[in-house]
Every structure is written in structure tokens, then in C-alpha cells.
A = this chain, B = another copy of it.
Amino acid sequence: MTTLQKATQQQTKSHNSHLVLKAIYDQRQISRADISRLTSLTRTTVSDLVTELQGKGLVEEIGYGQSRGGRSPILLSVIDDARHLIAIDLENDELRGAVVNLRNEIISTVSQPLRRREGDEALILVYELVDKLIATTDKPLLGIGVGTPGLVDASTKVVLRAVNLNWRGMPLGDLLQERYGLPVYVANDSQLAALAQYMFGAGKYGSNLIVVKVGTGIGAGLILDGRLFHGDGFGAGEIGHIGVVENGQQCRCGNLGCLETVATTPAILKRMHALARPVPRSVSHNPTAIADDLTLDVVQESFVAGHPAATQAVLEAGRYLGIAAANLVGTLNVHRIVFLSRLAWFGTPLLDAIRQEMIRRVLPTLTQDTEIELIDLRPEMVILGASALLMSHELGLQLSQ
């Protein structure tokens, strides 16, 4: 038998083991016979694989089920705390991490202010964060899942570029793997937020979902046919740098008029600043300090008060997000698009601006069934996406679908 054939057999065994574990996980409690029926694997194969899973401490016998005529079957269950997972989120000024269990329940959280440290200094902070997280649990660890802004090569686990950390080609996966001796998965934060949103949707999204994360940057995660789509260079969903303004402002990527120049939170602040001279008294008395003082809270205040500059700045951003939505719908004909953002605060007026612009720009039959949601970004979204990624790769367990 060739090495290739042996490898194939090994894959088949691992695939079958994942099938069995998934059946027990999904059903919560189930007998060996029922696993065999569900998976179409023989009883002997199922028994062998269950014994292995018991040996690994992942599965336990929890009692007897209802008899169907013969002996009462022994029921099996996954031990939710059999493994703990370390999941971290590197996108903010505050690095955040959590320990979660196999049901993706958060056991403990730790955060660490970044204080503008970057490069290797930021890496040391990541180590400290992981060290602290590991210290909070005494369970065996399944691995580490990391969400980071920027481009990530998910196969080599190299962060190709993360602006906030000033990382270029940082081999984060290998470094963490070496230091902790655990499997590590690294992915883009928008992609992980999409995974988490899909998972929380628990089936409501069908097989396709696009999640657009709008914060200081803009990125999308594409769930297509039930899976995260990465693209050829792991940059699928980098819609923040699609040009939407002809000869617009220069973007940090070098091009002009990218979506990020007009629809991020900072872009809205900047736009309102430009529109609002003189600014409302409550904002600042010193005109030169306005840009620094202007926060999203102030924009919200002014928006509620009906200040035209706030209204215009927010709704303009909405229209640009609508252009992005039109591109997504016209290209992928996905019926669900979720915008995850603090901008969700602006509610219906913003959502209407997005939707109206989208409708103007795409085949009418494609938009009639398209639903757009605007949801506040929960701080743990990226963390839970990171742990879901780790769990699906290591154990074949997916919380959604």
C-alpha cells in the first residue's frame, strides 16, 4: 500500500471519528446503536471510535436510555469542559481574550491595554495575555484561536499585514505554537465575526451570509454554501478598499476614494467636522481641537438634536455602505447581509439610507428578497468566532447548522 493510500485511510478514520463525535455533540445524549444509524458506520467501527473518544476524555457514559425491546442502551455524552480553548481578539486598543469550553461558553476573560505598542512589543503583550488566560484554567487545552485585523494567510497562519499592530509577515501561528505547544488558528477579525454571527443565527441564515464589520476599518466575512470563503489570497471580503468615490480622498492603502475613506467611524467624525463649522457649543470651544474632541457620542447627540451636519455625515456614510451592499448582492445574490457596527445606534434612518442606495444599484429581482440587518457589534464576537474556528478544525464540531 502506498503512503498516499495510508494517508487516505488515516483521513477516513479521522473523518469517521469526527462524525461520531459530532453525532454525540449534536444529540447531547445518544446510544452507540443510534450513532451507527445516524452515521451509516458499522456498529464495530462506532464502538471502536467511541472507546477512543472516551480514552481522550472527550466522551462519557451518562446512564441508560429507553429500551426498544432489548437491553436498555448506554447513553453517551460529550463532556463540555473536557477541553478549554484560548481565544483572543487583537483588533482594538485593548487586546482581549477568553477561555471558552466546548459549547463555546465563556469561562473567563482577560484584557490588556495595547497603549500604542506595536511590532515585537505588541507580540509580548499577546504572550502575556495568553499566559494570563492559561493561568485561569486547569483543564486540558484544545488550542488557541486568534482574530486579528488585516490580511492573514490562514494556511501558514502568518499575519501578512495588521496596521494597528504594525505587523507585516508576522508568523504569529508558528510563534504561539512553539511557545505553547498547542494547535493555533489565526484568521481575519471580520471573517471570524461572520462565523460567530452565522453560528448565533443557529440556522436562520440558511447557507449564505455576508457580515460587514464597520469600525475604524471595514471588512466583510463571507459565509458561502455554509463555509467561510477565504479567496485565493485569504483577502475575500476586503471591501473596505473598493473604490466608491471617483477621485476621492487618499486612503491609507494608497488608492483614492476607497469605501474606508467615507464610511468608517473616523470618516464620519471627519466629515461631520468638515461640515460643522462652527460646531455646536457642547462639542468644543476651541475650534482647533475639534477633530480630537469629536467622538461618536457627540455625533449621536447632534444626530438626535437634528444637527444637519451630523445627519448628513451619517446618512452619506450609509449611502456608501449601500453601494457596498449593491456590489455584494449583485455579485453573490446573498439574501442576508448583516452590518455589525457601533453605527447600529443610528438605527432606521441609517438602515434606510443603506437599503435605498442598494436598491438603486442592483437588479430589482435580486433585492426584493434581500434583508439587511444593522446590529451593534458585541465585544465577544471575534473571540467566539476564533474559538468556533479552532473547534471546527480540531474536532470537526460546528456550532451552527
Q: Which residues of A contact B (CB under 8 A)?
A: 1, 5, 8-9, 12, 37-38, 40, 151, 160-161, 206-208, 220, 222, 224-225, 227, 229-239, 241-243, 246, 253-256, 323, 326-328, 330-336, 360-366, 369
Contacts and interface: CB of A to CB of B under 8 A. Distances in A.
B327 A233 contact: no
Contact of A241 (B231, B241, B362): B362
Contact of A363 (B222, B253, B365): B253
Contacts of A330: 238-239, 241-242, 327
B256 A366 contact: no
B225 A335 contact: no
Nearest to A12: B40
B8 A362 contact: no
B332 A229 contact: yes
A238 B37 contact: no
B331 A327 contact: yes
Given A12-B40, A242-B361, A256-B360, A232 B331 contact: no
Contacts of A232: 206-208, 333-336, 369
B365 A327 contact: no
Nearest to A151: B365
Contact of A328 (B331, B362, B366): B331
Given A224-B225, A230-B333, A331-B331, 11 more contacts: A9-B40, A160-B365, A206-B232, A231-B332, A233-B333, A238-B366, A239-B330, A243-B360, A246-B246, A255-B361, A256-B360
Nearest to A357: B243
Nearest to A220: B331
